[in-house]
Structure formats: C-alpha cells, structure tokens
Amino acid sequence: MSCKFNFSAGPATLPKEVLIKAQSELLDWNGTGMSVMEMSHRGKEYAPIIQNAELNLKKLLNLPENYKVLFLQGGAVTQNFMIPMNLLNKRTASYVISGYWSKRTFIDSQPFSGTSIAASSESINFTKAPNIDSWKYKKDDAYIHFCLNETVNGVEYFGDINIKNVPIVCDMSSTILSRPIDVSNYGVIYAGAQKNIGPAGLTILIVRDDLLDFADKKTPSTLNWKIQSENNSMINTPASYGIYIAGLVFDWLLQYGGLASIEKNNLKKSNYLYDFIDSTDFYINNIDKINRSRMNVTFTIHNDQLISKFLLGAEKNGLFGLKGHRVIGGLRASIYNAMPHEGVVALVEYMKEFKNTH
Ligand SMILES: *Cc1c(COP(=O)(O)O)cnc(C)c1O
C-alpha cells in the first residue's frame, strides 16, 4: 500500500490498527462463526460488544455515575430537534453561535418556541468564539447550547466551561476524545461518530440522569432519550456495527494511554502546522490564537487562484481531503486523533514545496 493521508473532516481517517483488527474479525467474530454485522443486537454474542464499548467510553471520559451513555442514530444534526423535544418543556433556552454548526443548531431550534441567541461571533466572521463571560442566558433557561469545536470554521473553546444552575448542552462532534474534559460541567454532550469515534450512522449522547424527565409527551419513542436509556439504546435496532468499531477505537485510545496522552500528540500536530502557517505570509489562518482548533486547521493561500492547483498537487502527493467546507471555501486539514504526526509532517513538506514553486 502506498502511503496516503486523509485529512477529510468527516467521515474521517480511523486508526489503522482498528481497521486491521476489524478486517481480521470481519467474517468470524471471536469464534462465533458470524460477522458482527450479522448478529442479533439482542443476542448473547453481541451483548459484550456494546457493553464493553460503553464501559471503555466511561473509562476514557472518567464519567461520573449519574451520567448515561446512549448510542443513537440520525447524526449530530438530528439532535438539533431532539434537544428541544427532550429538554425544553415549555421553557426557554439560549444558544451560543460560534460557527457554521452552532448557527445551524439554533436555526433548527426555531420551530420550538422559546429559543434565543446568547452570543454570536458571526459579525466577525467566526474568527473568534464569543467569550463565556459574554453569554447572555436566563437563570431559568432549560439549557444553554454551544459547540466546543466548530469543524467548518476551525474555532475551538479551551479552558473551563463552567456555568452554575443552567445545564450546558454541548455539540462535541469533532473534538470529543481529543483531550480530557470534565464531564460534570455539562448536562448533555453529543457527537456524531464520524470524526473521532467511528463510522457515520452512530451518534453518541451522554446525559446527566436528572435531565431525562423533561421530554415533551408527544416525543416518539426512538427520539426520546429517557425511553432509549431505559431500553439500553435498543428501542429499535441500533447502529450495531458502528458501535463495534467505536468500541475498537475506545480500546485503541485506552492502549494509547487515554485522553491525556492523545492530547499531547494532538497539541504537537496542531502546533507544528500552525507554526508553519505563521512562519510565512503565503498561507493565512486568521482565527484568534486562543480559539485555534486542534482538530480542524483552516487556512487559505494569499492568492486564492492557487487553491485548486494546491489541491491537485496535494493528491498527487498522497494528501487527500484538504478542500475547505463548501460554504466557506479555502483549505482545511482535519487532524483528528487517528492522523499520525507523520501525516502532518508530510502536509507541511508539501506546503513548503508548493510555496517555493509558486
Ligand atoms: C459533522 C458535524 C455535525 C453534523 O453531523 P451529522 O452527523 O452529519 O449530522 C454537527 N456538528 C459538528 C460540530 C460537526 O462536526
């Protein structure tokens, strides 16, 4: 196999070791003579697969006892309406808008009355996330929603996010498991799997158990967190194969040394790339330094006519998925947990060569 690196934002690169293990078990899992794909989700063969996945996720996140893990479907965006259905209960809620995804989450909340904007950085083109001190919410809000890492814009919050009295609901799709977090600061955490966890089709939701009692009575069972929780995420068939792969990724992370170890590598990779971008005026990243994403590095070329040429040359060098999101253009290198440091080094080498020849 030639050496190729996939910088796609999602679905995204997975750890090679995980893919090799899945390949070796594809036809026969653990002597059962069945592929995981073929197993009944309620059978005795599948039970340890989902149980271990949940256990290892709890270990990685150091999850307090009073939080439940749900394995859902419909992607992160389906939570945009599941959140108000499960929490709003005729109350109000506030939304922080720090980029493309959190804006979309707010727009999707509008058919439910009572939601409003707590803060927005749209007027400065999402180059800096609204400071936590500037969030305007109500003391009796059902929740405050924000996105920890804006995948499209490359804007991430770091440091403590701690608000008393109002539960925080957080979209962590593109940064979950990239560094340790204190789960007890959050009421609800959710993430589409296809960035740092596994294949598309699985959504992880972590919810503090006292927040399971607010669902609107009209909420259908598959969309009701409490009913899903009472049925171990099996009110209908879950994304069973996706959960298996997620479990392998959790094992891989534990063997890596957990989230503190992967954070070191993520810091090393992102610093290497940002330091190179900052060392030239050929490439530009204009995100405020305190919010520069460690997972999604967005950049442009001083002459944007060169972008398509850059992408063509990158592919010739085995570097894929560097095109920026369709709504903002430019370039983006997504360097999730599974991207090795060598991938970032190869990208910087190509960027140097492209700069010198243009
Ligand atoms: C990818 C992404 C989404 C959308 O996820 P889907 O699974 O396609 O619904 C939402 N929020 C963030 C932060 C993302 O990175």
Atom 3 of ligand 1, residue of closest alpha carbon: 76
Which atom of ligand 1 is the closest one to the Cα of 148? Answer: 13
How far is the C-alpha of 222 from the C-alpha of 264, rounded, in Å?
38
Mark whether 35 and 161 lie in a shared domain.
yes
* Inside any domain, residue 2: no
Domain that holds residue 123: 17-256
Residue 76 lies in a domain: yes
Residues 206 and 194 in one domain: yes
Residue 308 Cα to ligand 1 middle (Å) = 25
Ligand 1 cavity residues, CB under 6 Å? 10, 75-77, 101, 147, 151, 171, 173-174, 192, 195
Question: Which ligand 1 atom is the nearest neighbour of the CA of 101?
Answer: 11
Same domain (yes/no): 108, 34: yes
Side-chain-side CA neighbours of residue 29 (13 Å): 18
25 and 163 co-located in one domain: yes
Residue 352 lies in a domain: yes
The residue whose C-alpha atom lies closest to atom 14 belonging to ligand 1 is: 173
Instruction: Specify the residue with its C-alpha closest to ligand 1, atom 12.
Output: 173
Total length of the chain:
358
Mark whether 237 and 286 lie in a shared domain: no
For residue 293, tell me if it sits in a domain: yes
At residue 72, what is the residue type?
Answer: L
Q: What is the CA radius of gyration of the chain?
A: 21
Report the separation in Å between the CA atom of 211 and the middle of ligand 1, taken as the mean of its atom positions: 23
243 & 320 share domain = no
- pLDDT for position 1: 46
> Is the domain of 248 the same as that of 275?
no
At position 9, the amino acid (one-letter code) is A
Q: How many CA atoms lie within 13 A of 319 on its CB side?
A: 24
Q: Are residues 323 and 186 in the same domain?
A: no
**Residue from 243, 225, 240, 188 nearest 57 by CA:** 243
> Position 209: which residue type?
D
Question: Is residue 235 domain-shared with residue 352, that is, in the same domain?
Answer: no
Query: Is the domain of 129 the same as that of 29?
Result: yes
Residue 90: left (phi > 0), alpha (psi -120 to 50), or beta? Answer: left
DSSP string, 267-306: HHHHHHHHHHHHT-SSEE--S-GGGB-SSEEEEEESSGGG
> Can you give the CATH number for the domain in which 271 is found?
3.90.1150.10
Our count of domains for the chain comes to 2
pLDDT tens digit at each of 358 positions of the chain: 457 999 999 999 999 999 999 999 999 999 999 999 999 999 999 999 999 999 999 999 999 999 999 999 999 999 999 999 999 999 999 999 999 999 999 999 999 999 999 999 999 999 999 999 999 999 999 999 999 999 999 999 998 788 989 999 999 999 999 999 999 999 999 999 999 999 999 999 999 999 999 999 999 999 999 999 999 999 999 999 999 999 999 999 999 999 999 999 999 999 999 999 999 999 999 999 999 999 999 999 999 899 999 999 999 999 999 999 999 999 999 999 999 999 999 999 999 999 999 9
Q: Is the dihedral of CA 330, 336, 339, 342 positive or negative?
A: positive
Catalytic residues: 101, 171, 195
Would you say residue 173 lies in a domain?
A: yes
| 154 belongs to a structural domain | yes
Are 84 and 193 found together in one domain?
A: yes
43 within a domain of the structure (yes/no): yes
- In terms of domains, do 296 and 313 share one? yes
**Ramachandran class of 307: left when φ > 0, alpha when ψ lies in -120 to 50, beta otherwise:** alpha
113: in domain: yes
